[in-house]
Amino acid sequence: MKKVAIVFTALIGLVACEKNPPAKTTDLRAYSVQTVGKITTVSNLPGDTIIGTNAQGQPFGAGKYSFFSLETGQWIPNVDSNTNRWDLAFAGTIIRVNNQSSGPGFGSAFVYNGAFDALTAVPTDSVFRVDNHPISYAITRGSGRAWYTYDGPTNLLTPIPGRTLVIKTASGKYAKVEILNYYRGGTTPSATAPDSIKIRDQRFFHFRYTYQGNGSRQF
């Protein structure tokens, strides 16, 4: 078993109806990467920084992505965003792949409607898509469309069970990814929790993946 611990500091948030987002803090912002066998699990990877609220009282971020390498299991600095060192980039509900409109790599993706553990190979009839950043993305945004649902009354986002992201990496290798949770600590706040907590604790990605480094379509 291999463990890699990485520290990254940011304050994260999702659109909500509270005018005053929580004050920025720097505690408990470490994310971790752990590999057991073929599966790597990433916890608490932040996905954008809240910098204020708009006229409707909705918090918004700085538009800064967290770039991640599925090959190395590491967060990639923003100064390398125009390289093929990264495979996925996270900012709110946007997940980008490294291709011609998002980066110089050979990345693409599609959403497989099936369980992560049951997907043992890239299906032969797969249709990989590329980003058209910033208009549209291979991993489609929108509640119920790709990997998550958003419930307005409770202001909570939940990953859809049985949705697996199939990724062609920047170098043309293959990986499968399952988003496990969207909130710090891997625990979704209670539906009755204050919006201030829901804002403070969201956009912390928890996901697991299997990367096939030899170029095979088998997982």
pLDDT digits (tens, 9 = 90+) for 161-186: 999 999 999 999 999 999 999 999 99
Predicted TM-score (pTM) of the model is: 0.85
Of 11-20, 47-56, 138-147, which range is least confident?
11-20
N-term to C-term CA, the chain: 18
Domain ranges of the chain: 2-212
Q: What are phi and psi of 115, to 5 degrees?
A: -70, 145
- pLDDT at site 28: 39
Helices (H), the chain: 195-201
Q: 162-189 b/e with 16+ CB inside 10 Å = b?
A: ebbbbbbbbbebbbbbbbebbbbeeebb
Token pair 């030899």 is found at 214
At 57, is the pLDDT very low, low, confident or very high (cuts 50, 70, 90)? Answer: confident
- Cβ–Cβ under 8 Å, residues 91 and 205: no
DSSP 132: B
Q: How far apart are CA 147 and CA 163, in angstroms?
A: 6
CA 25 vs CA 10, 21, 76: distances in Å = 8, 12, 22
At 19, is the pLDDT very low, low, confident or very high (cuts 50, 70, 90)? Answer: very low
